[in-house]
Amino acid sequence: MGVLWRAVLVGAAIGVVQLFIRLNGPEDDWTATVTLFFAAFPVGLALGWLVRLPRWWVVGILAPFVNTAILVVAFAGQTLFYVEDLGMRAMSFAFVGIGVGGHVTAAAVVVAGNRTLRALAVGAVFAGCVATSWSQDAIAEAARVRRLTYAGLPLIAPAMPDYRPTHLNEWFDEFLLGPPSFELEYEHVRDRSAFEVFVMSTRATSPQASCAEPVPDVTNRLGVTGTCRQVSPDVWVRREPYYIRVFARYGDALVQIASDNTPEADLLAVLPTFRPATAEELAAIGEI
């Protein structure tokens, strides 16, 4: 078996081990990162010796640093977390790909052999890193689509001709208090008026109860009081010193429409414009 193929086997095994650690290891990101980095050394050294990889000790020590470089170049920012949101298949491909790329590159650099083949191997790894880096926006959008699809929330959005959607925020984190929701931000196409829309499930609470204590929790500001009144069945308005909030039921959805610079009448006019939306449409809005 050729040197590079042995490196592929060892790198793939390292990726599988690191994937197992990621799924079952420390939940703290910093601790998990350190554990993943150092786990590559004993696995790479042991397997390199087992498959008789030439200069296995040098390759086994160098490869984890190459893995880190691949992470920095190909998965800068939050891209690796987005890959994790895409499910087990994407995670497996990413972890195994990083392990293989690191070990193949390290072997190609320090082990003697066909120069053309070694150069092609390093070039292929570099090209993969560049392609992944250029695909960050597409990966992030695909992850948003999957999160929205499996969030268990009604996917709806208003269609106001004079307003354009500018941002999507997701409040699905298990550490957040209150019901899961997503937020859409809209800006007027001609002036500075804007409003926010929060969409939750009606299983979370009722319009009346959410008016008294706003949900999701990110909109419930401590120390800020407000007065509530019902304007129609299942539609309540909450007035705060600097904010107006409308709570209403739309099918299986509980919506909150809020603004600090848009009149109450305009916020109420948003309600009849709600329509079903696809996860792809919502994800395309993007996030902050």
| Per-residue confidence band for 177, with pLDDT thresholds at 50, 70 and 90 | low
- Decide which of 225 and 66 is more confident: 66
Q: What is the mean pLDDT of residues 232-243?
A: 94
Cis omega (within 30 of 0) on the bond before 272? no
Contact at 8 Å (CB) between 219 and 171?
A: no
Residue 174 amino acid letter: E
Task: Read off the pTM.
Answer: 0.81
- Residue 174, pLDDT above cutoff 80: no
| Per-residue confidence band for 93, with pLDDT thresholds at 50, 70 and 90 | very high
Q: Of 23-27, 76-80, 247-251, give the lowest mean pLDDT range.
A: 76-80
| pLDDT winner (highest mean) among 91-100, 136-145, 173-182 | 91-100
pLDDT at residue number 224 = 83
- Residue 120, pLDDT above cutoff 60: yes
Q: What is the mean pLDDT of residues 4-22?
A: 95
pLDDT tens digits along 37-75 = 999 999 999 999 999 999 999 999 999 999 999 988 888
Q: What is the mean pLDDT of residues 190-217?
A: 90
| Per-residue confidence band for 155, with pLDDT thresholds at 50, 70 and 90 | very high
User: What is the domain partition of the chain in residue ranges?
Assistant: 3-134, 152-285
Q: How far apart are CA 108 and CA 40, in angstroms?
A: 18
Task: Give phi and psi for 72, each to the nearest 5.
Answer: -65, -45
pLDDT at residue number 188 = 93
Two structure tokens written together for 76: 């800068």
- Residue 288, pLDDT above cutoff 60: no
pLDDT at residue number 171 = 85
List C-alpha distances in Å: 96 to 43, 89, 177, 252: 14, 11, 35, 41
Angle between helical axes of 88-110 and 29-50 (0-180°, round to 10): 50
What DSSP character marks residue 25? S
Q: How far apart are CA 100 and CA 254, in angstroms?
A: 47
3-state secondary structure of 276: strand
Helices marked H in the chain — which ranges? 3-24, 29-50, 56-74, 79-85, 88-110, 115-134, 136-149, 207-212, 264-268, 279-285
pLDDT at residue number 36 = 93
Q: What is the mean pLDDT of residues 129-138?
A: 90
**152-285 domain in CATH 2.60.40.10?**
no
pLDDT at residue number 65 = 96
Percentage above 70 pLDDT, the chain: 97
- Residue 269, pLDDT above cutoff 90: yes
Contact at 8 Å (CB) between 237 and 227?
A: no
- Residue 77, pLDDT above cutoff 70: no
